[in-house]
Amino acid sequence: MHVSSLPGKYGIGDLGSSSRDFVNFLAASGQTHWQILPLAPVNQVFGHSPYMSSSAFAGNPLLISPELLIQDGRIQSSDIPPYEFSEYAVEFDKVMPWKKQILAATWRAFQANGTRHNLEEFIKDNPWVKDYGLFMALKHKFNQQAWFQWPSGLRRRDPDALTEAENQLQQEIRYFQFEQCLFFDQWRKIHEYAGKKGIQIIGDLPIYVGLDSADVWANQDIFELDTKTCKPVNVAGVPPDYFSKNGQRWGNPLYRWNSKNSTTQKQLYEWWALRLEMIFSTVDVIRIDHFRGFESFWSVPAKEKNAIKGTWKKGPGKKFFQEMEKRLGSLPIIAEDLGIITPAVEKLREDLGYPGMKILLFAFDANPDNSYLPYNYEKNCVVYSGTHDNDTAVGWFLSPDVSTNAKTQAKHYANCTDNEASTFHRQMMYLAHSSTANLAVLPMQDVLGFGNDCRMNTPSTAKGNWQWRCAERFITAELAKQLLESTRMFGRLPAAKKEDSRIK
């Protein structure tokens, strides 16, 4: 359940009472983990996807709670503009300008009261926010133009050009840094509250970052960019698979993992260490999206319109994670190992001891050796009924694209002989909880039995994604009781957790 999908009156789930109430629901229903999507800023250009952000370090200002701003005395209730939002979807075109008005009012109040202590301390403790603030201020100045279209001096980060921009845009830079200060102050409080309630938060770390981001602009040497245009030579993606017959051309710039330049290698590892350190300061466990890219990655020529004509290239492998553990200590990681997975990828994950992912909706192809069938699981894995990238359980069962045999097989595995779609999500919950997987994670849509109208994302589509919200009336004490009973039945309450679990 992503934060943006939480109930609330302000058009989008946020870090206020909606997050706190959901933590209380999880605790009441016997859960131990809350998995979210990346907390990064989103923008209209990429359909508000949290996987194509302007920063790998920053938080999404849209998730800042107006309620907490009032409670903390940063603004008055009179500073909240009139509003009327859907409780079923994030209407980004309405929410974004409305939220900007509130944040602008908060900034004015902050400037007027004369104290800057917490902002300056935040900037000092988070060195990434210096480049981020300048990047966002320049984006604003150039009407959201991509950084590789800026004047040459700024595009190539000429020191004199950067100094001049910093002097000209001081207030704008400070504003964007202030947004981040607000976000992480509120996030820290909800993270601490979750910990007190026995809930660990599983964050999501995309392996790649967006091309038009502060990260690529500020660290151009570590990415495969053309030195003249500053645009990618090759881009990230995956070959044709379950999700897309043409593969997925993500368009993210690739890392220079195989550079012979020792300085580039050092910079790349330092940047990754900072990135991991940052995310582990905000969540308890991370799911690394597209883990297989560390063993080998699909490189697509930037000129290609789809991902079919890509090639596999060697990733950094085990040495990368060994180096990160040497710098940061033990890394509680879930490896997203879906799609085309080779024995080399499986060996990398097993050598590192990271649990992989098992998706129940991928299991029912009449192959008894299918690795997603519960009886084929190793204990060190995390089972999901589905993910944000595929059908909901009920949506899958109702889909004309899914064979009748697959649906019948799924029901039989759950020892159910009816042909009802309305109960299918409960059978998937049964299979997930009864499996030997160390951890079972269920999308909230599957806990509630919602159909594909509540799906979060359809890969390779640009519109209509990342908008689903759960209305408050659906998250009930009765639902918590049902989830608690299933969790208890299969020994998954906190007291029954196994000591050898990799998920701590």
CA–chain centroid gap for 471, Å, is 21
- Enumerate residues 6+ apart whose C-beta is below 8 A from 337: 291, 292, 345, 346, 349, 356, 357
Burial of 379 (0-12, 13-18, 19+ CB in 10 A): middle
323 an active-site residue? no
Catalytic residue from among 14, 212, 289, 391: 289
Q: Cα–Cα–Cα angle for 18, 23, 24, nearest 5°?
A: 95
Q: Give CA–CA dist 269/274, Å, rounded.
A: 9
Q: Are 181 and 174 in contact (CB under 8 A)?
A: no
Catalytic residue from among 14, 284, 336, 337: 336
Q: Report H helices in 158-258.
A: 159-168, 170-196, 214-218
Helix, strand, coil % over all residues of the chain, rounded to 5: 45, 10, 45
- Closest by CA position to 385, among listed 339, 438, 426: 426
The string of DSSP letters for 426-475 reads HHHHHHHHHSS-SEEE--HHHHHT--GGG----TT--SS-S-B---GGGS
Give SS3 for 490. Answer: coil
- H or E stretch covering 145: none
Q: Give CA–CA dist 386/374, Å, rounded.
A: 14
Q: Are 142 and 217 in contact (CB under 8 A)?
A: no
Q: Are 87 and 472 in contact (CB under 8 A)?
A: yes
Catalytic residue from among 172, 389, 391, 446: 389
Q: In the numeric block, which tokens belong to residue 236?
A: 């990230």
336 an active-site residue? yes
Q: Give CA–CA dist 474/453, Å, rounded.
A: 15
Burial of 141 (0-12, 13-18, 19+ CB in 10 A): middle
284 an active-site residue? no
Rg (CA), the chain: 23
Q: Give CA–CA dist 52/222, Å, rounded.
A: 18
Catalytically active residues, by annotation: 289, 336, 389
